[in-house]
Amino acid sequence: MIFRSEIKQNAKEQLRGRWPLAIFVTFCANLLTGVISVVSERFTTNEITFSANILGIVILIIAGPITVGFSKFLLKFARRDESAAINDIFSEFEIFKKALGLYLLVTICTVIGTALFIIPGIIIGLALSQSYFILAEDNSKSITECMKESARIMNGYKWDFFVLQLSFIGWALLCIISCGIGFLWLSPYYSLTTANFYLTIKDR
């Protein structure tokens, strides 16, 4: 049985006294994969389609390695590894093709499932949600191995993870009310909670 309160409490304890690093790295990771997307959409509305396409390609290229690299940082942070640092989010460019391939496959599978029926898409997304942590922990594993292992360890825990994610909705609404400033704290807290969830279920 997964105790959500315990997992979230672990994340809070790990953040105590280490908030600045967590906020900085999370902000940088979100900036690299998120703000570029916003800029791309702005360009599109201004009909500067060429620039939008270029930015879209940039997002596609860096999203995989950055996502796996950020997962690596979160695992190190959760384990109180003193070597956890900003350079972790760039470390997985060494396995660029594999990280990008994993990102594309997970995204495609989730999008196709959602396009057919919303619920299957959610289930697929939950099943594959641990793939990035798995690759971050063991770069020698193939893309399919990461996806299969994620589906395996999430067997029986998809609902737990879904509810865990829903438990942050209240905080997210408060962050929106604060003009988004609160996300500086919520984002690392949420991300670290997901890392603790992975560490909790991976050997069960």
pLDDT of 132-180, one tens digit each? 999 999 999 999 999 999 999 999 999 999 999 999 999 999 999 999 8
Model pLDDT, residue 39:
47
Integer Cα distance of 142 and 99 in angstroms: 10
Model pLDDT, residue 116:
79
Model pLDDT, residue 57:
74
Integer Cα distance of 74 and 89 in angstroms: 10
Percent of all residues in the chain with a pLDDT value above 70, rounded to a whole number: 89
How does 53-74 read in b/e, with b if 16+ C-beta sit within 10 Å?
eebbeebeebbbbbbbbbbbbb
Q: pLDDT under 70 in the chain at which residues?
A: 1, 35-53, 55-56
Domain ranges in the chain are: 4-201
Closest by Cα among 24, 31, 51 to 40: 51
Q: Are the beta carbons of 29 and 70 closer than 8 angstroms?
A: yes
Model pLDDT, residue 118:
85
Question: ∠ at Cα 128 (120, 173), nearest 5°?
Answer: 75
Q: 58 Cβ partners below 8 Å, 6+ apart?
A: 36
Q: Are the beta carbons of 103 and 131 closer than 8 angstroms?
A: no
Q: Are the beta carbons of 63 and 121 closer than 8 angstroms?
A: no
Query: What is the model's pTM?
Result: 0.90
Model pLDDT, residue 50:
63
Structure tokens at 189: 């807290």
